[in-house]
Amino acid sequence: MAISVVNAGNVDDETDLTSYSFSVTLVASRWLVIDYASQATATPNTPTVSGGGLTWVSAEVVQAQSNRKIGRAYAWTGATPGAQTISIDYGGQTQTWCAIYPNHIDGADLTDPFVDGNSLGTSAGTGTSGSVTLNAFADSSNRPLAFFWKRVPGEALVAEGGYTELGTQVQNSGDNREMSMWHDSTAETTPSASWTTDIQWAVIASEIKVAGTAAATSIPTVSVNPMRW
């Protein structure tokens, strides 16, 4: 079975809260992957994702800037579909906004949706584009899933050619923007995005492992520029 990724409805909550909850309609026997970003007045706590009666795995959390973080978590939906409430809890620390991107993955390995052993990518400085290099894919049927964040201004994030955008949102009148994207036809190892103004950016990218390949533990790839204060 080929891999497919379908967005389940993005959320942009610009309320000052310590925990953000949202409703998502689960599809049975799928991986639900949630990418998120938030901002606090200090270094954001690493949040806990819970809810839906699911067992959640925190795949990666990245300090995107001194007071901003992006992250990825995922869970197997099981056999019972339907509307469920999922929460992202920052352990009592108030965030000024939280952007959430839930995606259902079908056709991925049942043990873990992501492949072990992707290299750690880093980027020095700011720029008008961002990218990360993954290791050569273990199977030509595997596919990349990437989540980008960038700072001001509110101009668009443009996905690399061939990638399907799963959603994009802005916060604080364009002070932050994110984009979730994946490549549906190629085992492409250098997901990238571009914009106009030289600014800060960060990305989390993972190799989705097609069903039927050897089991592995997820180690997503992360690229982030140095923080500016």
Tell me what percent of the residues of the chain surpass a pLDDT of 90: 61
pTM score, whole prediction: 0.89
Question: What is the radius of gyration, based on Cα positions, of the chain?
Answer: 16
pLDDT tens track for 16-43: 999 999 999 999 999 999 999 999 999 9
Residue 61 β-bridge partners: 71
Evaluate if residue 150 carries a pLDDT over 70. yes
pLDDT tens track for 71-101: 899 999 999 789 999 999 999 999 999 999 9
In contact, 207 and 118? CB cutoff 8 Å: yes
Q: How sure is the predictor about 116, in pLDDT bands with cuts at 50, 70 and 90?
A: low
Q: How far is the C-alpha of 46 from the C-alpha of 161, rounded, in Å?
A: 32
Tell me what percent of the residues of the chain surpass a pLDDT of 70: 86
Q: How far is the C-alpha of 21 from the C-alpha of 118, rounded, in Å?
A: 31
pLDDT value, residue 15:
95
pLDDT value, residue 165:
96
Q: Is 106 exposed, middle or buried (0-12, 13-18, 19+ CB in 10 A)?
A: middle
